[in-house]
């Protein structure tokens, strides 16, 4: 409800006298505005705190004379049944219920009496009450350890020992005692002397004696078959590789380039890096190993494999000059066709040079 401006002058010692003669307590100048935009414009400090273990936002208001909390944060059992008239800073009044709550905030901690209103702009508003710290001096150590990590929670768990059947533990035997016990058992000695074998679960079980102790030995025939299969596969793979090398070497030719020779290099085209074309000529400046060559190109020396190189055959200058003198086309294909027609009586033909 909207009140007149002279209401504050009627408040004496925090009490307001009504027409009936009764007096009601009044908390004045609380920042719990009904308009959130006006509250945000005040830019009051807001920190994190707790109410009965629940995490909340806490605002420190030096113009308020009490502690205000949202009604939803107070349980029914915490309400005292008392009410108080709350006078807001925007000159509106609201009847609020009182509750006993447990606060843990950087501004105030402990059991306090708070006013509960449904439309508080913040979860908790701490005013000028006894024990409240100033907005510039909050005690952040109060909130240290408020959050429990999963590792801490796991460390707090009490593990219960595993319950097993009540059995008498065997103290065990040493080496000499084991040898003596086996020698005293005629059945074990018979198994070793006879060399008896049996099958259990698809495995061959036999007994052998090593350093005076009889051991049971398990042999898996399937494991041996797997080793034999791997050996055969490895041998066949080596044979196939040998055959492939033999057939490849029959048609393969070893390219040997000398220093100073002109070669063409298979490089990507300028328009599409996925397409290759022969470029050059470039000069061989050195050979590296058996199949690598160093090529001087564009002011740099680069290394290429012999499969990316081929010899550069220069055009015959005499044939080219004769075609120019006679006024014939100077392209390689035209010259080759002219020579081929002129030599129809012979079996030799001249293939056009492809640059």
pLDDT band at 278 (very low <50, low <70, confident <90, very high): very high
Of the two residues 221 and 128, the one the predictor is more confident about is 128
**Confidence bin at 242 (pLDDT 50/70/90):** very high
Q: What is the largest CA-CA distance in the chain?
A: 144
Give the integer Cα–Cα distance in Å for 231 and 208.
28
Per-residue model confidence as pLDDT tens digits over 145-175: 555 556 655 655 667 777 767 666 666 788 8
What is residue 129's DSSP assignment? -
Rounded Cα–Cα distance for residues 197 and 217 (Å)? 10
**Does domain 7-139 correspond to CATH entry 1.10.357.10?**
no
State mean pLDDT over 131-154. Answer: 70
Q: Given a cut of 60, is residue 2 above it in pLDDT? A: no
User: Does residue 350 carry a pLDDT above 60?
Assistant: no
Tokens of 206: 């036999």
| Entry pTM | 0.35
More confident residue, 67 or 344: 67
Mean pLDDT value across residues 228-244: 94
Q: What is the mean pLDDT of residues 179-208?
A: 80
Which segments of the chain are extended strands (E)? 15-17, 23-30, 46-51, 54-60, 67-70, 79-88, 93-104, 109-117, 124-126, 198-200, 203-210, 213-219, 262-268, 276-288, 292-297, 300-305, 309-311
Domain layout of the chain by residue ranges: 7-139, 178-219, 225-252, 262-311
CA distances from 352 to 113, 278, 315, 325, 348 (A): 107, 17, 10, 20, 13
3-state SS, residue 186:
helix
DSSP character for 143?
G
Can you name the residues that pair with 349 across neighbouring β-strands?
none
Q: In Å, how far are 55, 148, 155, 156, 161 from 151, measured between CA atoms?
A: 20, 8, 6, 9, 21
What pLDDT score does 305 carry?
Answer: 94
pLDDT band at 247 (very low <50, low <70, confident <90, very high): very high
The domain over range 262-311 is classified in CATH as 2.30.30: yes
Q: Is the pLDDT of residue 128 over 80?
A: yes
Are the C-beta atoms of 111 and 102 separated by less than 8 Å? yes
Confidence of residue 131 (pLDDT cuts 50, 70, 90): confident
């Amino acid at each position: 409800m909207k009140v007149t401006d002279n209401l504050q002058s009627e408040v004496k010692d925090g009490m307001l006298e009504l027409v009936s003669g009764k007096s009601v307590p009044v908390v004045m100048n609380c920042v719990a505005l009904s308009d959130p935009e006006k509250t945000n414009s005040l830019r009051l400090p807001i920190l994190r705190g707790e109410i009965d273990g629940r995490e909340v936002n806490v605002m420190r208001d030096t113009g308020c004379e009490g502690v205000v909390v949202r009604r939803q944060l107070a349980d029914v059992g915490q309400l005292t049944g008392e009410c108080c008239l709350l006078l807001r800073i925007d000159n509106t009044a609201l009847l609020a219920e009182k509750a006993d709550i447990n606060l843990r905030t950087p501004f105030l901690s402990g059991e306090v009496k708070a006013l509960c209103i449904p439309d508080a702009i913040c979860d908790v508003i701490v005013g000028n009450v006894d024990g409240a710290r100033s907005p510039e001096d909050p005690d952040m150590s109060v909130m240290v350890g408020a959050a429990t990590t999963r590792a801490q929670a796991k460390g707090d768990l009490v593990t219960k020992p595993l319950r097993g059947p009540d059995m008498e533990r065997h103290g065990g035997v040493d080496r000499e005692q084991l040898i003596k016990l086996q020698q005293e058992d005629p059945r074990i000695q018979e198994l070793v002397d006879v060399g008896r074998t049996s099958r259990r679960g698809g495995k061959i079980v036999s007994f052998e004696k090593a350093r005076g102790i009889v051991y049971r030995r398990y042999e898996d025939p399937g494991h041996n078959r797997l080793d034999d299969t791997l050996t055969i596969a490895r041998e066949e793979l080596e044979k196939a590789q040998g055959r492939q090398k033999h057939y490849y070497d029959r048609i393969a030719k070893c390219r040997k380039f000398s220093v100073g020779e002109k070669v063409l290099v298979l490089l990507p085209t300028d328009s599409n890096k996925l397409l290759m074309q022969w470029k050059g000529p470039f000069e061989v400046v050195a050979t590296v190993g058996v199949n690598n060559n160093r090529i001087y190109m564009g002011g740099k020396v680069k290394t290429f494999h012999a499969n990316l190189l081929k010899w550069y055959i220069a055009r015959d200058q005499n044939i080219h000059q004769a075609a120019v003198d006679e006024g014939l086309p100077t392209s390689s294909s035209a010259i080759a066709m002219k020579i081929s027609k002129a030599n129809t009586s012979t079996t030799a033909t001249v293939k056009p040079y492809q640059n």
